Amino acid sequence: MAYLFTSESVSEGHPDKIADQISDALLDNFLAFDPDSKVACETLVTTGQVVLAGEVKSHTYLDVQNIAREVINTIGYTKGEYQFSGDSCGVISLIHEQSQDINQGVDRESKEEQGAGDQGMMFGYATKETENFMPLALDISHKILQVLADLRREGTQMDYLRPDAKAQVTIEYSDANVPQRIDTIVVSTQHDEFDVDAAMLSKIKEDIVNILIPRVKKLLPASIQSLFNDDIKYHINPTGKFVIGGPHGDTGLTGRKIIVDTYGGKGAHGGGAFSGKDPSKVDRSAAYAARHVAKNLVAAGVADEILVQVSYAIGVVEPTSIFVDTYGTANVDLSDGEIAQKAASLFDMRPFAIEERLKLRNPIYLETAAYGHMGKQPQTVSKVFESPYNGKIEKEVELFTWEKLDKVEEVKKAFNL
């Protein structure tokens, strides 16, 4: 029997995502000036206020208030009527030094023997249903909001848009788990008050369907475009007008959108958030490494869909377990346990090895903090960081290294593919 599956995404202007981006901007600045920094930064945003908290061990000092303001302005909160602006909000810093009890479990004389920064389990997932090996409903949800942000910044066709938004996509699958059609699209977008309520809602829905969706479709391959049809159910700002939004409408916290950040409800999640954490925290680094494993295994043809779990004990170097689930889609004559053993021999999952392989001690994290940490295109960019205490530094860094298909040939050889 056919079934429906739904995923959602949120925009960079969503309160929780503002918090994530501020936390990752702080992390990037710490790592830019001191790559050995240990950072766990949390952010809270609400009407006119930003609160920064967390633990840091670093040889550098930052103007954290100014960094937070720059992020908020870049997102687009620059107007007084939003009741939240980077130029006028209060910024309170409660950041303090990292606990020595935690640090002693992580640092070692030999970096190769670095222990995990926490216990827990992390998951990576990949599927062949999209070109970037991501679940389709989540991929489309992300693209809807990225295009919506583009339209907002262009300020021509939809000049009433404000930064806060959410999108949700429901897809019908066949019994063979193949996408058949898009059933429902939900978009809630913050906007200026430009007319009476009924006229505003009618105009916004018309523009979403006739301007936004066609631009989203153009980003997708023909096989996915064919899933769009005239029978899609659209729910556009279904509660009515959405003028009050952002941190004025809803308090935002770092780490409250972990399913948006990963696989949209597909696969599994270990529960740990990413943003604001340096790579000694395996919540983040091992989740990236598990995605790297899953994506390369699927791309090599080991299976059409793969979930990888890795787990750790705080302060212990070697993972406590590595698990693989192919959902019965394996293309090799091996059990999932045997696939896991081979994967463990191909990918070194010790914390320092992950940091080195994926180049995670670089300031690469602000770009991860909106529209998903997984599924983006690896790229090399030059980033500039300025500090009243440390001067100016420019660094060339690789973004989204865990998305590289750099182990495919090695995997094929190991699995005789």
Q: Which residues are documented as binding site for ATP? A: 14, 164-166, 241-242, 250, 256-257, 273, 277
Residue 300, amino acid:
A
Rounded Cα gap, residues 347 and 75, in angstroms: 37
The annotation places the binding site for L-methionine at 55, 98, 250, 281
In sign, the C-alpha dihedral spanning 196, 197, 199, 200 is: positive
Rounded Cα gap, residues 293 and 314, in angstroms: 22
End-to-end CA distance of the chain: 33
The annotation places the binding site for K(+) at 42
Q: Are 375 and 132 in contact (CB under 8 A)?
A: yes
Q: Are 388 and 63 in contact (CB under 8 A)?
A: yes
Rounded Cα gap, residues 328 and 306, in angstroms: 9
The annotation places the binding site for Mg(2+) at 16
Helix (H, G, I), strand (E, B) or coil at 104: helix
> What are 295's two structure tokens?
């994506």
Rounded Cα gap, residues 182 and 176, in angstroms: 16
The annotation places the binding site at 14, 16, 42, 55, 98, 164-166, 241-242, 250, 256-257, 273, 277, 281
Q: Are 132 and 302 in contact (CB under 8 A)?
A: no
Rounded Cα gap, residues 417 and 412, in angstroms: 5
Q: Which residues contact 268 (CB under 8 A, 6 or more apart)?
A: 123, 125, 307, 309
Residue 391 CB coordination number (10 Å): 9
Of 145, 227, 223, residue with least CA distance to 188? 145
Please, what is the angle between helix 351-358 and helix 282-300, to 10°?
A: 60
Q: How far is CA 267 from CA 137, 141, 308, 347, in A?
A: 13, 17, 9, 20
